[in-house]
Amino acid sequence: MIRLLKLGVALGLIWSLYWYAAGYSLRQGVVGWFQAREDRGWQAEFSDISTSGYPLRHITLLNNPALADPVNGTAWQAEWLSLDNPAIWPGRQTVIFPETAQRLSYFDQTVVVYANDMTADLHLAPGIGLEVQRMALNSGAWRIDDAAGPIAQAQALTVSMVQTDQPETYQFDIAAPQFTPGEAMRRAAGQAAALPDSFQTLKLDMQVRFDRPWDRRALEERRPQPVAIDLKLAQAEWGALSLFAAGQVTVDGNGVPSGKIALKAENWRDMLAALQGSDAFPAIALDSAGRVLNLLAGISGNPDALDVELVLRNGVVTLGPFPLGPAPYIYLH
């Protein structure tokens, strides 16, 4: 019995030493990361840092963190930020954001984010490569405001990137139930009174194959580049307006995409009617678009629903038989 007690005490001491050493290493890693940003000319600061969670977790709390990159003009600050991981493996991090205001800036434009239960998950595979198995941002009810008022809000938010059985392929899912645009976005959409406050559906289901898995080299060398995109479904429904997209696209070494995306728009005439008086589209452009869409609807066989293909070939995008212009360049910097 005494021998077991001594063994238990010894194991407890060893674990305690490990816990404190690992917690110190995590704190130093965070401090070093902020210092490295400062060395590159960023504003990167926090008022203090502490660790709790003994004995099974490491919870690293930063008070008043602030980051600003003068090169691209982006900045973020919050009241606090918490990093939570199992003590046995720091590669399974959960970042917890405050429900108080988070400020995001792009040069002189600033928005304020309020979010309930917002967390970001980062799961890394054990090993020196540190392959990304999962990255996800989840939130309860959230709202984004600017100086004029709410820009957008929703009842929840899910954005996830999950590694599949093929290490270089990742599943992407995005959903924002009850997404409600602000007044400025509704004015840009035209006749706001004809549309409900919230989208019934706003979601994305997509798989992307990259030229290599996401791992530590994405920070140390270059970002993995997409080589094949399988858009299973992109869907937006706002009142009577419904838009669906699905298709497959490949991307060559120069970032030029090739492939086809099927587009379906239900009640497209109502969509054009709602855009009348829009801040985003002049009347002459809507008239021209109406004639083209009417022709495409006739070709598809259903005048009330558009069912066409967006074709990307040789660096050019066409909608049905009509060329739209150069294809977008797809490259992750």
99 and 234 together in one domain: no
Between CA 68 and CA 258 the distance in angstroms is: 37
Between CA 317 and CA 172 the distance in angstroms is: 24
Q: What is the DSSP letter of 192?
A: G
pLDDT at residue 291, rounded to an integer: 67
Answer with the one of 66, 82, 107 that is the final residue of a domain.
107
For residue 262, being part of any structural domain is answered with yes
pLDDT band for position 57 (cuts 50, 70, 90): very high
26, two tokens: 């995590």
Task: Report the domain count for the chain.
Answer: 2
For residue 113, being part of any structural domain is answered with no
pLDDT at residue 299, rounded to an integer: 62
pLDDT surpasses 90 at 282 = no
Contact (CB, 8 A) for 78 and 102: yes
8 and 146 together in one domain: no
60 and 179 together in one domain: no
pTM for this entry: 0.86
The alpha carbon of 110 is separated from its chain's Cα centroid by a whole number of angstroms, namely 19
For residue 312, being part of any structural domain is answered with yes
pLDDT at residue 321, rounded to an integer: 78
Residues 130-173 have pLDDT tens digits of 999 999 999 999 999 998 889 999 999 999 999 999 999 999 99
201, two tokens: 């559906």
- Show the domain range for 59: 1-107
For residue 193, being part of any structural domain is answered with yes
103 and 249 together in one domain: no
95 and 129 together in one domain: no
Pick 237 or 333 by higher pLDDT.
237
Residues 110-127 have pLDDT tens digits of 999 999 999 999 999 988
Pick 278 or 273 by higher pLDDT.
273
pLDDT at residue 112, rounded to an integer: 97
Answer with the one of 55, 72, 107 that is the final residue of a domain.
107
For residue 240, being part of any structural domain is answered with yes
How many Å from the N-terminal Cα to the C-terminal Cα in the chain? Answer: 62
Between CA 43 and CA 330 the distance in angstroms is: 30
Answer with the one of 53, 76, 107 that is the final residue of a domain.
107
pLDDT at residue 39, rounded to an integer: 92
106, two tokens: 């792009």
206 and 288 together in one domain: yes
83 and 223 together in one domain: no
99 and 161 together in one domain: no
Which residues, 6+ apart, have CB-to-CB distance to 10 below 8 Å? none
